[in-house]
Amino acid sequence: MIDIIFEPLRFGFMRTSFLVAILVSIACSTIGVYVVYRRMAFIGDALAHTVLPGLVVAYLVGINMFAGALVAGLASSLAIGRITQNKSVSEDTAIGIVFAGMFALGIFLMSRTGSFRELSHMLFGNILGIPDSMLIWIALIAISIPLFLFLLHKELELTSYDPSHAEVIGLRVDTVRYILLILLALTIVTTISAVGVVLTSALIITPAAAASLLTRRLVPMMVLSTVFGATSGILGLYASYYFNAASGAAIVLVCTAIFAVCALIEWAMRDRVNLKRSAA
Protein backbone atom coordinates (compact mmCIF):
# COMPACT_ATOMS: atom_id res chain seq x y z
CA MET A 1 0.00 0.00 0.00
CA ILE A 2 2.79 2.40 1.00
CA ASP A 3 4.58 1.53 -2.22
CA ILE A 4 1.48 2.49 -4.19
CA ILE A 5 1.45 5.89 -2.47
CA PHE A 6 5.16 6.63 -2.80
CA GLU A 7 5.85 5.09 -6.19
CA PRO A 8 4.75 8.15 -8.27
CA LEU A 9 6.56 10.53 -5.89
CA ARG A 10 9.92 9.16 -7.03
CA PHE A 11 9.55 11.36 -10.13
CA GLY A 12 10.15 15.10 -9.95
CA PHE A 13 7.43 15.91 -12.48
CA MET A 14 4.90 13.95 -10.39
CA ARG A 15 5.86 15.83 -7.22
CA THR A 16 5.37 19.11 -9.11
CA SER A 17 2.02 17.85 -10.43
CA PHE A 18 0.76 17.02 -6.93
CA LEU A 19 1.79 20.47 -5.75
CA VAL A 20 0.04 22.13 -8.71
CA ALA A 21 -3.09 20.02 -8.12
CA ILE A 22 -3.26 21.17 -4.49
CA LEU A 23 -2.55 24.82 -5.32
CA VAL A 24 -5.10 24.92 -8.12
CA SER A 25 -7.68 23.25 -5.85
CA ILE A 26 -7.23 25.94 -3.20
CA ALA A 27 -7.91 28.74 -5.70
CA CYS A 28 -10.75 26.97 -7.52
CA SER A 29 -12.57 25.64 -4.49
CA THR A 30 -12.66 28.87 -2.51
CA ILE A 31 -13.84 31.08 -5.35
CA GLY A 32 -16.11 28.27 -6.54
CA VAL A 33 -18.44 28.76 -3.57
CA TYR A 34 -19.21 32.30 -4.74
CA VAL A 35 -19.51 31.12 -8.35
CA VAL A 36 -22.10 28.51 -7.32
CA TYR A 37 -24.11 30.72 -4.97
CA ARG A 38 -24.07 33.74 -7.26
CA ARG A 39 -25.25 31.46 -10.09
CA MET A 40 -22.18 32.33 -12.16
CA ALA A 41 -21.42 28.77 -13.29
CA PHE A 42 -22.13 29.64 -16.92
CA ILE A 43 -19.85 32.69 -16.74
CA GLY A 44 -17.09 30.51 -15.26
CA ASP A 45 -17.41 28.01 -18.06
CA ALA A 46 -17.55 30.77 -20.67
CA LEU A 47 -14.47 32.51 -19.24
CA ALA A 48 -12.52 29.26 -19.40
CA HIS A 49 -13.29 28.96 -23.11
CA THR A 50 -12.68 32.61 -23.96
CA VAL A 51 -9.00 32.44 -22.96
CA LEU A 52 -8.30 30.07 -25.86
CA PRO A 53 -7.55 32.82 -28.45
CA GLY A 54 -5.10 34.39 -25.97
CA LEU A 55 -3.30 31.08 -25.60
CA VAL A 56 -3.08 30.55 -29.34
CA VAL A 57 -1.92 34.11 -30.09
CA ALA A 58 0.77 33.78 -27.40
CA TYR A 59 1.88 30.51 -28.99
CA LEU A 60 1.97 32.05 -32.48
CA VAL A 61 3.81 35.20 -31.37
CA GLY A 62 6.17 33.17 -29.21
CA ILE A 63 5.47 34.81 -25.86
CA ASN A 64 4.61 33.14 -22.54
CA MET A 65 1.27 31.35 -23.01
CA PHE A 66 0.36 32.00 -19.39
CA ALA A 67 0.62 35.74 -20.12
CA GLY A 68 -1.51 35.36 -23.26
CA ALA A 69 -4.20 33.51 -21.33
CA LEU A 70 -4.05 36.07 -18.55
CA VAL A 71 -4.62 39.00 -20.93
CA ALA A 72 -7.45 37.17 -22.72
CA GLY A 73 -9.01 36.10 -19.41
CA LEU A 74 -8.95 39.59 -17.92
CA ALA A 75 -10.25 41.17 -21.15
CA SER A 76 -13.05 38.58 -21.34
CA SER A 77 -14.03 39.04 -17.70
CA LEU A 78 -14.27 42.81 -18.16
CA ALA A 79 -16.25 42.34 -21.39
CA ILE A 80 -18.64 39.88 -19.73
CA GLY A 81 -19.02 42.23 -16.77
CA ARG A 82 -19.85 45.08 -19.13
CA ILE A 83 -22.33 43.05 -21.16
CA THR A 84 -24.14 41.66 -18.12
CA GLN A 85 -24.30 45.16 -16.67
CA ASN A 86 -26.29 46.29 -19.70
CA LYS A 87 -29.70 44.63 -19.55
CA SER A 88 -30.57 45.16 -23.23
CA VAL A 89 -29.61 41.52 -23.98
CA SER A 90 -30.29 38.82 -21.41
CA GLU A 91 -27.23 37.75 -19.43
CA ASP A 92 -27.04 34.13 -20.53
CA THR A 93 -27.59 35.07 -24.18
CA ALA A 94 -24.81 37.67 -24.10
CA ILE A 95 -22.39 35.29 -22.41
CA GLY A 96 -23.30 32.52 -24.85
CA ILE A 97 -22.49 34.77 -27.80
CA VAL A 98 -19.13 35.97 -26.40
CA PHE A 99 -18.18 32.46 -25.26
CA ALA A 100 -18.96 30.78 -28.59
CA GLY A 101 -17.39 33.61 -30.61
CA MET A 102 -14.15 33.66 -28.64
CA PHE A 103 -13.85 29.86 -28.59
CA ALA A 104 -14.45 29.77 -32.35
CA LEU A 105 -11.73 32.40 -32.78
CA GLY A 106 -9.38 30.22 -30.75
CA ILE A 107 -10.16 27.13 -32.86
CA PHE A 108 -9.79 29.20 -36.06
CA LEU A 109 -6.36 30.44 -34.96
CA MET A 110 -5.37 26.92 -33.89
CA SER A 111 -6.28 25.55 -37.30
CA ARG A 112 -4.07 28.23 -38.89
CA THR A 113 -1.05 26.90 -36.98
CA GLY A 114 -1.33 23.63 -38.89
CA SER A 115 -0.75 21.58 -35.76
CA PHE A 116 -3.66 20.80 -33.52
CA ARG A 117 -1.55 18.26 -31.65
CA GLU A 118 0.84 20.87 -30.24
CA LEU A 119 -2.03 22.89 -28.91
CA SER A 120 -4.18 20.01 -27.67
CA HIS A 121 -2.81 20.39 -24.12
CA MET A 122 -4.53 23.80 -24.05
CA LEU A 123 -7.84 22.04 -24.48
CA PHE A 124 -7.20 19.16 -22.11
CA GLY A 125 -4.37 20.44 -19.89
CA ASN A 126 -0.94 19.03 -19.14
CA ILE A 127 -0.39 18.99 -15.42
CA LEU A 128 2.52 16.58 -15.80
CA GLY A 129 4.53 19.03 -17.90
CA ILE A 130 4.43 22.24 -15.88
CA PRO A 131 7.82 23.98 -15.71
CA ASP A 132 9.17 25.35 -12.40
CA SER A 133 8.96 28.95 -13.70
CA MET A 134 5.19 28.55 -14.09
CA LEU A 135 4.85 26.85 -10.73
CA ILE A 136 5.84 30.11 -9.04
CA TRP A 137 3.05 31.98 -10.87
CA ILE A 138 0.53 29.28 -10.02
CA ALA A 139 1.56 29.42 -6.35
CA LEU A 140 1.33 33.21 -6.26
CA ILE A 141 -2.15 33.24 -7.77
CA ALA A 142 -3.36 30.27 -5.71
CA ILE A 143 -2.36 32.08 -2.50
CA SER A 144 -3.65 35.48 -3.69
CA ILE A 145 -7.19 34.26 -4.47
CA PRO A 146 -8.10 33.11 -0.92
CA LEU A 147 -6.31 36.18 0.48
CA PHE A 148 -8.46 38.54 -1.62
CA LEU A 149 -11.57 36.54 -0.76
CA PHE A 150 -10.66 36.88 2.93
CA LEU A 151 -10.09 40.64 2.67
CA LEU A 152 -13.29 41.22 0.69
CA HIS A 153 -15.34 38.58 2.50
CA LYS A 154 -18.04 40.87 3.85
CA GLU A 155 -18.38 42.79 0.58
CA LEU A 156 -18.64 39.62 -1.53
CA GLU A 157 -21.02 38.01 0.94
CA LEU A 158 -23.38 41.00 1.13
CA THR A 159 -23.54 41.64 -2.61
CA SER A 160 -24.25 37.93 -3.13
CA TYR A 161 -27.47 37.83 -1.13
CA ASP A 162 -28.66 41.43 -0.75
CA PRO A 163 -27.44 43.76 -3.50
CA SER A 164 -30.06 46.37 -2.49
CA HIS A 165 -28.55 46.88 0.95
CA ALA A 166 -25.09 47.00 -0.60
CA GLU A 167 -26.15 49.81 -2.96
CA VAL A 168 -27.86 51.72 -0.13
CA ILE A 169 -24.65 51.79 1.92
CA GLY A 170 -22.67 52.95 -1.13
CA LEU A 171 -21.10 49.60 -2.02
CA ARG A 172 -21.35 49.32 -5.81
CA VAL A 173 -22.49 45.83 -6.74
CA ASP A 174 -20.90 46.15 -10.18
CA THR A 175 -17.51 47.00 -8.68
CA VAL A 176 -17.59 43.87 -6.51
CA ARG A 177 -18.76 41.83 -9.49
CA TYR A 178 -15.83 43.07 -11.60
CA ILE A 179 -13.39 42.22 -8.80
CA LEU A 180 -14.87 38.72 -8.57
CA LEU A 181 -14.70 38.27 -12.36
CA ILE A 182 -11.03 39.33 -12.39
CA LEU A 183 -10.25 36.88 -9.56
CA LEU A 184 -12.18 34.22 -11.47
CA ALA A 185 -10.19 34.95 -14.64
CA LEU A 186 -6.92 34.58 -12.69
CA THR A 187 -8.13 31.29 -11.21
CA ILE A 188 -9.16 29.97 -14.60
CA VAL A 189 -5.88 30.88 -16.26
CA THR A 190 -4.04 29.03 -13.50
CA THR A 191 -6.31 26.00 -13.71
CA ILE A 192 -6.11 25.69 -17.50
CA SER A 193 -2.47 24.64 -17.19
CA ALA A 194 -3.63 21.67 -15.09
CA VAL A 195 -6.85 20.44 -16.66
CA GLY A 196 -7.24 22.50 -19.83
CA VAL A 197 -9.90 24.79 -21.23
CA VAL A 198 -12.65 22.19 -21.46
CA LEU A 199 -12.52 20.84 -17.89
CA THR A 200 -11.56 23.96 -15.90
CA SER A 201 -15.09 24.96 -14.94
CA ALA A 202 -15.62 21.50 -13.38
CA LEU A 203 -12.84 22.12 -10.84
CA ILE A 204 -14.39 25.46 -9.91
CA ILE A 205 -18.01 24.36 -9.70
CA THR A 206 -18.11 20.69 -8.68
CA PRO A 207 -16.21 20.77 -5.32
CA ALA A 208 -18.15 23.88 -4.23
CA ALA A 209 -21.46 22.33 -5.27
CA ALA A 210 -20.56 19.13 -3.38
CA ALA A 211 -19.68 21.12 -0.25
CA SER A 212 -22.93 23.10 -0.50
CA LEU A 213 -24.82 19.81 -0.07
CA LEU A 214 -23.23 19.17 3.32
CA THR A 215 -23.13 22.56 5.03
CA ARG A 216 -25.05 25.81 5.03
CA ARG A 217 -22.17 27.97 6.30
CA LEU A 218 -19.98 29.91 3.92
CA VAL A 219 -16.55 29.50 5.52
CA PRO A 220 -16.93 25.75 6.36
CA MET A 221 -18.22 25.36 2.81
CA MET A 222 -15.01 26.91 1.44
CA VAL A 223 -12.87 24.65 3.64
CA LEU A 224 -14.83 21.54 2.65
CA SER A 225 -14.74 22.56 -1.01
CA THR A 226 -10.93 22.94 -0.80
CA VAL A 227 -10.61 19.49 0.80
CA PHE A 228 -12.74 17.98 -1.98
CA GLY A 229 -10.76 19.82 -4.67
CA ALA A 230 -7.36 18.80 -3.26
CA THR A 231 -8.54 15.19 -2.78
CA SER A 232 -9.73 15.11 -6.40
CA GLY A 233 -6.39 16.46 -7.57
CA ILE A 234 -4.35 13.92 -5.60
CA LEU A 235 -6.56 10.87 -6.29
CA GLY A 236 -6.95 11.91 -9.92
CA LEU A 237 -3.18 12.03 -10.36
CA TYR A 238 -2.78 8.58 -8.80
CA ALA A 239 -5.50 7.24 -11.10
CA SER A 240 -3.82 8.89 -14.07
CA TYR A 241 -0.45 7.35 -13.09
CA TYR A 242 -1.66 3.81 -12.48
CA PHE A 243 -4.23 3.60 -15.31
CA ASN A 244 -2.06 5.55 -17.76
CA ALA A 245 -4.96 7.91 -18.49
CA ALA A 246 -5.29 11.66 -19.12
CA SER A 247 -4.61 13.42 -15.82
CA GLY A 248 -7.09 16.32 -16.30
CA ALA A 249 -9.95 13.95 -17.06
CA ALA A 250 -9.02 11.69 -14.12
CA ILE A 251 -9.05 14.65 -11.71
CA VAL A 252 -12.46 15.83 -12.92
CA LEU A 253 -13.87 12.29 -12.76
CA VAL A 254 -12.82 11.94 -9.11
CA CYS A 255 -14.36 15.35 -8.48
CA THR A 256 -17.64 14.19 -10.02
CA ALA A 257 -17.56 10.99 -7.95
CA ILE A 258 -17.12 13.05 -4.76
CA PHE A 259 -20.15 15.14 -5.77
CA ALA A 260 -22.18 11.94 -6.29
CA VAL A 261 -21.19 10.65 -2.82
CA CYS A 262 -22.12 14.01 -1.23
CA ALA A 263 -25.46 13.96 -3.05
CA LEU A 264 -26.14 10.48 -1.63
CA ILE A 265 -25.18 11.60 1.89
CA GLU A 266 -27.42 14.66 1.61
CA TRP A 267 -30.28 12.54 0.29
CA ALA A 268 -29.86 10.05 3.18
CA MET A 269 -29.71 12.84 5.76
CA ARG A 270 -32.81 14.51 4.33
CA ASP A 271 -34.60 11.19 4.33
CA ARG A 272 -33.73 10.62 7.99
CA VAL A 273 -34.94 14.14 8.94
CA ASN A 274 -38.22 13.51 7.08
CA LEU A 275 -38.66 10.18 8.89
CA LYS A 276 -38.06 11.85 12.27
CA ARG A 277 -40.57 14.57 11.41
CA SER A 278 -43.24 12.13 10.33
CA ALA A 279 -42.62 10.03 13.49
CA ALA A 280 -43.02 13.14 15.64
Partner 1 sequence: MVIPYSFRREHAAVPGAPAIETRDLWYRYPRVEHAALQGISISIPQASCVALIGSNGSGKSTLMKAICGILPPQRGTVRIAGLPIGGCHHRVAYLPQHGAINWRFPVTVRRLVLAGRFVHLGWIRRPGRRDYEIVDEALDNLGMTDLADRQIGMLSGGQQQRALLARALAQDAEVLLLDEPLTGVDHITRQVFERVINSLIQRGRTILTATHDTSVREAGYDTIFRLEEGELQEGDDDRHHL
Give contact residues for partner 1 (rule: CB under 8 A). 37, 87-88, 151-152, 154-155, 157-158, 160-162, 164-165, 167-172, 212, 215-218, 221
Of 57 and 221, nearer to partner 1 (C-beta) is 221
Least Cβ distance, residue 83 to partner 1 (angstroms):
15
> 35, 204 in Cβ contact below 8 A?
yes
> 251, 228 in Cβ contact below 8 A?
no
Least Cβ distance, residue 42 to partner 1 (angstroms):
17
Size of the chain, expressed as the number of residues it contains:
280
Please report, to the nearest 10 degrees, the dihedral formed by the alpha carbons of residues 82, 85, 87, 88 taken in order.
-20
Least Cβ distance, residue 59 to partner 1 (angstroms):
39
Least Cβ distance, residue 45 to partner 1 (angstroms):
21
Of 33 and 57, nearer to partner 1 (C-beta) is 33
Of 29 and 191, nearer to partner 1 (C-beta) is 29
Of 41 and 105, nearer to partner 1 (C-beta) is 41
Name every residue whose Cβ is closer than 8 Å to that of residue 122 and which is 6 or more positions away in sequence: 52, 55, 56, 65, 192, 196, 197
End-to-end alpha carbon distance in the chain: 48
Q: What's the CA gap between 68 and 52, in Å, rounded?
A: 9
Of 70 and 222, nearer to partner 1 (C-beta) is 222
> 50, 73 in Cβ contact below 8 A?
yes
Least Cβ distance, residue 61 to partner 1 (angstroms):
38
Name every residue whose Cβ is closer than 8 Å to that of residue 279 and which is 6 or more positions away in sequence: none
How far is CA 223 from each of CA 104, 187, 260, rounded to the nearest angstrom?
A: 36, 17, 19
